């Protein structure tokens, strides 16, 4: 399996890890630590050294209860960081944004992928993706970050999430986005109760059956805290367990804050599945 992202053709015959680089003051896990260009670049270099295959740069927190920021502020946060990474490192860069203007500015600065929690549904987003030929990751989210965890409801969460993603893939194709440029993400924890997220992970093979690259992000999320009774920075081992499960069930991209440990877990599971060593 391959994922076409502008001038890059990402080989997904082995799963890879997408390192999270939040350049915001208020992200749920590492808000403010990498808000400056130098700090962000240092962190980017560290994640690449640890084995990240993609760096996902975000300039707006999407944690439950978060409020949106302006396009101008988001661009000011992410563009200098993307430019610095592109100039220094040979790595695939993703922009984590739902705003078309931010997407366009980020791709112009050197990003290869648009990772959108709103699945390119904001007017103009699909057009930007088609024009730039960026790879796209379409995520499912019920509601908005500010209110998504208030009262999420599904009759059949797996069926509804897959139907939503299938519809968005069709809309992207109709807008001129190449089929091999599209990946999907079930959105663990985004407008889902614990039982919804667990069902999506358990039924991940149903999403993999769409034949598209599947991205899963569980790193440090509240789903782990609720299972284990762990605080935010005590969730590494639970996250590695869920990442290993996701890869076993067919996920090709694992989005994580803890790149080195996740790379080791993913490679170990992949070696068993592939029946081969290093």
3 state DSSP class of 218: coil
Phi then psi for residue 91, to 5 deg, are: -145, 145
3 state DSSP class of 34: coil
- Tell me what pLDDT residue 61 has: 79
Residue 31 reports pLDDT greater than 70: no
- Tell me what pLDDT residue 65 has: 64
Contact partners, residue 42, CB within 8 Å, separation at least 6: none
Residue 59 reports pLDDT greater than 80: yes
> pTM of this prediction?
0.92
Q: Which of 63, 77, 235, 255 is catalytic?
A: 255
Q: Mean of the per-residue pLDDT values for the chain?
A: 93
- Tell me what pLDDT residue 25 has: 73
Each residue's pLDDT tens digit, 184-204 = 999 999 999 999 999 999 999
Q: Which of 43, 221, 235, 252 is catalytic?
A: 221
Residue 277 reports pLDDT greater than 70: no
Euclidean distance between the first and the last CA atom of the chain, given in angstroms as a whole number:
20
In the block, residue with structure tokens 């739902």: 98
Residue 112 reports pLDDT greater than 60: yes
Annotated catalytic residue 193: no
Residue 67 reports pLDDT greater than 80: no
- Does the domain formed by 2-273 have CATH 3.20.20.20? yes
Can you give the residue ranges of every domain in the chain?
A: 2-273
CA distance 129 to 228: 39
Taking alpha carbons only, the member of 47, 54, 62 closest to residue 18 is 54
CA distance 155 to 107: 38
- b/e per residue 191-202 (b: at least 16 CB within 10 A): bbbeebbbbbbe
Contact partners, residue 21, CB within 8 Å, separation at least 6: 34, 40, 43, 44, 47, 55, 56, 57, 58, 81
Q: Given CA atoms 117, 119, 123, 124 in this order, what sign does their dihedral have?
A: positive
């Amino acid at each position: 399996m391959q994922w076409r992202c502008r001038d890059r053709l990402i080989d997904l015959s082995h799963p890879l890890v997408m390192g999270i680089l939040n350049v915001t003051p208020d992200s749920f896990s590492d808000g403010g630590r990498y808000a400056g260009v130098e700090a962000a670049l240092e962190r980017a270099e560290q994640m690449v050294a640890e084995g990240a295959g993609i760096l996902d740069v975000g300039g707006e927190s999407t944690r439950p209860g978060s409020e949106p920021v302006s396009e101008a502020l988001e661009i000011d946060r992410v563009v200098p960081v993307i430019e610095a990474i592109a100039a220094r490192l040979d790595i695939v860069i993703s922009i984590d944004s739902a705003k078309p203007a931010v997407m366009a500015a980020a791709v112009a600065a050197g990003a290869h992928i648009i990772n959108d929690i709103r699945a390119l549904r904001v007017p103009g987003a699909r057009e930007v993706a088609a024009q730039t030929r960026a790879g796209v990751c379409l995520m499912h989210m019920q509601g908005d970050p500010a209110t998504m965890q208030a009262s999420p409801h599904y009759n059949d969460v797996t069926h509804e999430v897959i139907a939503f993603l299938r519809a968005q893939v069709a809309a992207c194709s109709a807008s001129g986005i190449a089929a091999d440029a599209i990946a999907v993400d079930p959105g663990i924890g985004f407008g889902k109760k614990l039982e919804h997220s667990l069902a999506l992970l358990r039924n991940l093979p149903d999403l993999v059956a769409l034949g598209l690259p599947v991205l899963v992000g569980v790193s440090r999320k509240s789903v782990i805290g609720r299972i284990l009774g762990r605080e935010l920075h005590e969730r590494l081992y639970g996250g590695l367990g869920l990442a290993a499960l996701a890869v076993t069930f067919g996920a090709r991209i694992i989005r994580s804050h803890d790149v080195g440990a996740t790379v080791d877990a993913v490679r170990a599971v992949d070696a068993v599945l592939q029946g081969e060593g290093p």
